[in-house]
Chains A and B, each alone.
Chain A
């Protein structure tokens, strides 16, 4: 589980171009300035590649904070 967290943190840091230590479990679309609709698309692509999953169409728009990302990734990996 810790591993999933660190991978999510790494991906979010790379996609949004913020230092790793700035990504926390409370990070969200409101706390990260560079999180716009185009970066969101890059985030989905990067997460899917990182975890080798396909995020369902209806969830793509929901991944707006760290907690939800973690939840859905664990859901997809089941």
Chain B
């Protein structure tokens, strides 16, 4: 992205416009400077990831008014730039008196308040920090503009609602240099301060937020071994000659790469290995090498054999039950990288740079572009859970009938209604779940909070445990009372994480939802199935539960059920605990 030419981005964007369809992701850009060139770059970065954008630019220097106009966009991006703030006050800000300084500060405080207030119901808001880096610094004391920027940024962070992400644009300025980022010539003539280099880097910086909002985040990173996790080739140099030592000149870089992999594993990213080697050799290194950091316990899946890597990556995706587009593959060989690019273009590839000291930072930069790495207690447990999944799979083989196997698991569900403490996890599940997701509606934490606070809506979250361990919150159902008829309720969302699929949990949950609705005096429930490329497995879910199909279109099926006609499945080997909090 950052290395593509603007004219190529424009040309590619036109081609992609005709191929990427689907429900538009609506973005509004509010700014106090001219930011027109951002549009196509941002469109391109979304279309490449199969997101269909609809971008609207607000009027020039009209942030406050526009914030009340675009409150219903999926994402609002705010460029509140210090250049124009300072310009509107004085040609030389350092010369203003304290009274004016305080007036300016208080005016912007109240403008921030208005922006936050107007956009508080918006699913996602991105606002940039204020920067003083355009202005000449004094190296021993803070200038007035620097002081103002510090105060404003503190306010920005202090007052933000949970739907707001603050982007530190100074980090972009530092990365590319202020002269490469700001074009004062075009700022003076057209109030367009940002260079193409800045805009491309900016788009790369906000991409993880958009991936998160649209369910496009990566889930797994798969490493080759020789010359990728360590220096040298086991088969040629021997196990005692490969190098990943903290104390050797080039070993240090591989040590850091392994540290990065462990860091990811601890944050719930699936870390795997796909290598052409003798399996026993690599296992020996992972278990016994004195310098190994990426120990076996951090690795969820291994494909160590002499088959081609495309087939191995395909089986990794199917065994882990994740989409190909949620995988990143790292290898030093241009042969392997090109093979994957050609055979499985959905997989993002990272080739180890030939200049080895650049490798760890190059890797980390790409990782920050593709993973949203907030440490969240659910994510941290995930590596263990994927391992439990593998144990369950092998246990499955010991039982003849699937019901016998399931009842031997001692599955128990804990269903909570409107539990505020689970908002981050519930939002995350709506954003990440693709397969068992009947409507695939993506919600931010703020939207879930609104559902919980609204007396018409109810949010069910389900935590699942069995004899192998606790799966945590893995299913979500959102119910909305019909505004016209308070005896009718609509199932807005019904989803389950792929790691609990195949255990009849969905039927137990549906039995429970219907029971809950009856006991809350509802008489009818409505629902719809919205097909996507990934959710075919749930297309008959409502029919299987006795719902009546009332309308069918190519992109939509609507169902209805009289609660009195519902026949529960009564699956006795799964127990249910319930807690209601509203």
Query: Is the Cβ of B14 less than 8 Å from the Cβ of A49?
Result: no
The digit string for A13-49, where 1 denotes a CB below 8 A from any CB of B, is 1110100000000000000000001100110111001
Task: Determine if A41 and B14 form an interchain contact, defined as CB atoms under 8 angstroms apart.
Answer: no
B189 touches A57 (CB 8 A): yes
Interface-side segment among B5-13, B132-140, B299-307: B5-13
Residues of B within 8 A of A38 (CB): 34, 36
Q: Counting chain B CB atoms within 10 Å of each CB, which of A15, A42, A61 scores highest? A: A42
Cβ-closest chain B residue relative to A7 = B7
A45 to B5, CA, bound (A): 11
Chain B interface size, under 10 / 10 to 19 / 20 to 34 / 35 or more: 10 to 19
Q: Are B7 and A41 in contact (CB under 8 A)?
A: no
Q: Is the CB of A41 within 8 A of B37?
A: yes
Q: In the complex, how many residues of chain A place their beta carbon closer than 8 angstroms to a beta carbon of chain B?
A: 19
Whether the Cβ atoms of B190 and A45 lie closer than 8 Å is no
Q: What is the CA–CA distance of A6 and B323 in the complex, to the nearest angstrom? A: 41
- Assess whether A42 is in contact with B189, with CB atoms less than 8 Å apart: no
- B34 near A49: Cβ-Cβ < 8 Å: no
CA distance A38 to B38 in the complex (A): 12
Is B186 at the interface (CB under 8 A from chain A)?
A: yes
Are B5 and A57 within 8 A (Cβ)? no
Find the residue from B8, B10, B14, B195 having the highest chain A CB count within 10 A.
Answer: B10
Note all chain A residues with C-beta closer than 8 A to B10.
Answer: 14-15, 17, 42, 46
A49–B7 Cα distance when bound, in Å, is 9
CA distance A17 to B11 in the complex (A): 8
Q: Is the interface of A mostly helix, strand, loop or mixed?
A: helix
Contact B186 A14 (CB under 8 A): no
Question: Given B5, B185, B189, B190, which contacts A49 in the complex, CB threshold below 8 Å?
Answer: B5
Q: State the Cβ distance, B111 to closest chain A Cβ, in Å.
A: 25
Determine whether A60 belongs to the interface, using a CB cutoff of 8 Å to chain B: yes
Indicate with 1 or 0, residue by residue over A54-66, a CB within 8 angstroms of chain B CB atoms.
1001001100000
Q: Is the CB of B36 within 8 A of A50?
A: no
Is residue A10 within 8 Å, beta carbon to beta carbon, of the partner chain?
yes
Contact A41/B186 with A14-B11, A14-B14, A17-B14 known, Cβ cut-off 8 Å: yes
The 10 A-B pairs at the shortest CB distance, nearest first, are namely A14-B10, A14-B11, A38-B36, A14-B7, A11-B7, A46-B7, A46-B6, A57-B185, A45-B196, A49-B6
Chain B residues packing against A (C-beta within 8 Å): 5-8, 10-11, 14, 34, 36-37, 40, 185-186, 188-190, 192, 195-196
Sampled A-B contacts (27; CB under 8 Å): A10-B7, A10-B11, A13-B11, A14-B7, A14-B8, A14-B11, A14-B14, A15-B10, A17-B10, A37-B190, A38-B34, A41-B36, A41-B190, A41-B192, A42-B6, A42-B36, A42-B40, A44-B186, A45-B186, A45-B195, A45-B196, A46-B6, A49-B5, A49-B196, A50-B6, A57-B189, A61-B189
